[in-house]
Amino acid sequence: MGKFISLILALFVCFCFLNIIFFYESFNNEDIREFYLTGELSEGYSSDEVSHMKDVRTLGMFSLFLNLVLLFVFVKFRKGVDFRKTSTYLFIIFGLLVVFAFLFDNFFYYFHLVFFGSSGWTFPSSSRLIQDYPFEFFRNRFLFLNFLILCSAVVFRGVVFERFSKKPKRN
């Protein structure tokens, strides 16, 4: 159970960072913030862009739901958590994401194929959505996510692990 709950904690940490970045950036743009709150996009977005944003909103809500499930599982079974294993899982996730970062063009393409199907997510460079969120925007947020996961792995390996693994001194 220790390995499982440690993996759950690592995934929870990753999804927390992903959701924080996603919602911070989404609510930083007034049009997108309004879309998430009301379901309506302002003038200037094509029907394909609106459709894609609905898919993105659904994916964002699913990510939040998954985060809550991971939190529930962690809270229920937290007694078996091994912070050193959590750190190891975070380093493994970081390593995989570094590989994806080097191949980000391909990663971005296949991510969209898997989550958005074969159409409805490619737009001309003149589209409002691409102007608001160019490719570099996603690459930079992905790199930031990697950095946060690496920091978490280091924290779990060092500070948290040391704090919780010390045995009480006997007098």
Q: Is residue 7 part of a domain?
A: yes
Burial class for 39, CB neighbours closer than 10 Å (0-12, 13-18, 19+): exposed
Taking the CB of residue 163, how many other CB atoms lie within 10 A of it? Answer: 9
Burial class for 32, CB neighbours closer than 10 Å (0-12, 13-18, 19+): buried
Determine the pLDDT at residue 171. Answer: 58
Q: Is residue 108 part of a domain?
A: yes
Q: Where in the sequence is the domain holding 40, given as residue range(s)?
A: 2-165
One digit per residue, the tens of pLDDT, for the chain of length 171 reads 778 888 899 999 999 999 999 888 888 888 788 888 887 887 788 888 888 888 888 898 899 999 999 999 988 888 878 888 889 999 999 999 999 999 999 999 999 999 887 677 889 989 988 988 899 999 999 999 999 999 999 988 886 656 666 655 665
Q: Is residue 170 part of a domain?
A: no
Q: Is residue 153 part of a domain?
A: yes
Q: Is residue 120 part of a domain?
A: yes
Q: Is residue 34 part of a domain?
A: yes
Q: Is residue 132 part of a domain?
A: yes
Domain count, the chain: 1
Q: Which structure tokens are listed for 114?
A: 């898997």
Q: Is residue 171 part of a domain?
A: no
